[in-house]
């Protein structure tokens, strides 16, 4: 299955993990302590984030550390920006229409 950034952010737990990792590397156990789900469930979410290119996992001794790669969200940002412009233009046109109909 092809995974991308859109797939990664579709799940609220994965979004929360990315937020947690945005400024620092954490080991998987520390990440898991922040969620009410099991350690294996967190590992599954981390694997998806890794497959999407949003997280890199480094092995240091017996610990696995996770680092977020937020630059991979540029695809999502570009997609949102395109629709933001679209809706801003539509709403501006509606505003002009409503203003002209008041006269």
The predicted-structure confidence for 46-58, as pLDDT tens digits, reads as follows 999 999 999 999 9
Reported pTM = 0.77
Q: 30 pLDDT exceeds 90? A: yes
Alpha-carbon distance values, 66 to 2, 5, 36, 61 (Å): 21, 17, 19, 14
Q: How far apart are CA 1 and CA 51, in angstroms?
A: 10
pLDDT score of 82 more than 90: no
CA angle 38, 42, 43 (to 5 degrees): 115
Walk across the sheet containing 55-60 and list its strands: 26-27, 63-68, 55-60
For residue 76, pLDDT over 70 is answered with yes
Q: What is the pLDDT of residue 43?
A: 94
* CATH architecture entry for 5-102: Orthogonal Bundle (1.10)
Q: Is the pLDDT at 63 greater than 80, yes or no?
A: yes
Q: Are strands 55-60 and 26-27 parallel, antiparallel or unpaired?
A: unpaired
Sign of the C-alpha dihedral, residues 43, 47, 53, 56?
A: positive
State the average pLDDT for the chain.
92
């Amino acid at each position: 299955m092809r995974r991308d950034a859109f797939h990664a952010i579709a799940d609220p737990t994965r979004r929360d993990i990315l937020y947690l990792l945005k400024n620092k590397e954490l080991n998987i156990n520390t990440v898991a302590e922040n969620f009410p789900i099991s350690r294996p469930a967190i590992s599954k979410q981390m694997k998806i984030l890794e497959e999407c290119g949003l997280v890199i996992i480094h092995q240091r001794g017996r610990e696995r550390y996770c680092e977020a790669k937020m630059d991979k969200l540029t695809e999502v940002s570009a997609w949102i920006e395109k629709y933001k412009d679209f809706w801003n233009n539509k709403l501006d046109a509606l505003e002009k229409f409503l203003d002209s109909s008041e006269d």
